């Protein structure tokens, strides 16, 4: 009798395991968007595993699930709407420098990714590892830009900062590599005729600054000067 029962229990446990794995995969699958350039598929990994793969100078992309950031993603045809840059991997956890409301600051990788919708994130880096001198310049460039108020007008020429400008300038100052595409609002929004112009008119108090130059997180992620080292979902996110 016992011999007859054991195969049934083993089979049942196997079936339950398959169901559980399928449910986990569906719950944590990437949204319906194309992988970042250089990525072959959507990955699922723990924060700890992702942290172990990071280098100084890596750009980390996430998706903030609030407006106007969702409108930024829609206007650029991308899932991502926020980016930070890794400036220190020597400690217990990588540290990310970012421009955010109300001003630029440094935070940990886990706290940075905890703000992303469903743990969605990507990591991109320049092909050549940074030298010690470049790492020092990277850290200094990020530090000089801390405490700068966020630019809600996304103006590349203003005295304030926004996320993609911050990451782009810090990386360029450290390595000389320019990433992302500088474009006017006219060019940007012309590419996405379905963009919510009504929202942007409201955001800019009735008049969109069509000739203003900006740079977006999506353009950084798509930059041919970078290669993707992670594109997917970070799981077991800690509380904020």
pLDDT per position as a tens digit, 4-63: 333 433 333 333 333 233 333 333 346 545 544 544 468 999 999 999 999 999 999 999
pLDDT at residue number 235: 86
Domain hosting 99: range is 31-235
Task: Determine the pLDDT at residue 127.
Answer: 95
H helical segments located in 176-228: 185-190, 197-203, 217-221
Whether residue 147 lies inside any domain: the answer is yes
Whether pLDDT at 228 is above 60: yes
Rounded CA separation 49/46 (Å): 5
- Total domain count, the chain: 1
- Whether residue 26 lies inside any domain: the answer is no
The pLDDT score that the predictor gives to residue 26 is 32
CATH number reported for the structural domain that contains residue 94 in this entry:
3.90.1720.10
Q: Is the pTM of this model over 0.75?
A: yes
In a domain, 4, yes or no: no
Whole-number Å distance between alpha carbons of 190 and 24: 39
What local confidence, expressed as pLDDT, does residue 24 receive? 31
Residue 18, both tokens = 């398959």
Continuous H helices in the chain: 2-28, 47-52, 69-76, 109-114, 132-144, 163-175, 185-190, 197-203, 217-221
What digits encode the pLDDT tens for the residues 186-196? 999 999 988 99
Within a domain: 15: no
């Amino acid at each position: 009798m016992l011999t007859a029962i054991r195969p049934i229990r083993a089979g049942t446990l196997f079936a339950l395991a398959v169901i559980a794995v399928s449910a986990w995969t569906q719950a944590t699958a990437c949204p319906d968007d194309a992988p970042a350039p250089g990525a072959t598929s959507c990955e699922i990994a723990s924060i700890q595993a992702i942290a172990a793969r990071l280098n100084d100078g890596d750009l980390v992309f996430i998706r903030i699930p609030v407006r106007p950031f969702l409108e930024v993603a829609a206007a650029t045809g991308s899932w991502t709407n926020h980016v930070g840059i890794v400036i220190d991997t020597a400690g217990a956890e990588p540290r990310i420098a970012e421009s955010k409301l109300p001003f630029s600051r440094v935070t940990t990788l886990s706290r940075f990714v905890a703000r992303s919708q469903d743990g969605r994130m990507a990591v991109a880096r320049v092909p050549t590892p940074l030298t010690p001198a470049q790492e020092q310049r990277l850290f200094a460039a990020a530090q000089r830009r801390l405490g700068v108020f966020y630019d809600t007008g996304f103006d590349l020429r203003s005295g304030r900062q926004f996320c993609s400008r911050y990451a782009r300038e810090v990386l360029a100052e450290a390595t000389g590599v320019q990433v992302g595409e500088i474009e006017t609002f006219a060019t940007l929004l012309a590419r996405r005729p379905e963009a919510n112009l009504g929202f942007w008119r409201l955001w800019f108090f009735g008049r969109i600054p069509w000739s203003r130059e900006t740079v977006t997180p999506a353009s950084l992620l798509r930059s041919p000067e970078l290669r993707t080292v992670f594109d997917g979902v970070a799981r077991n996110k800690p509380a904020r």
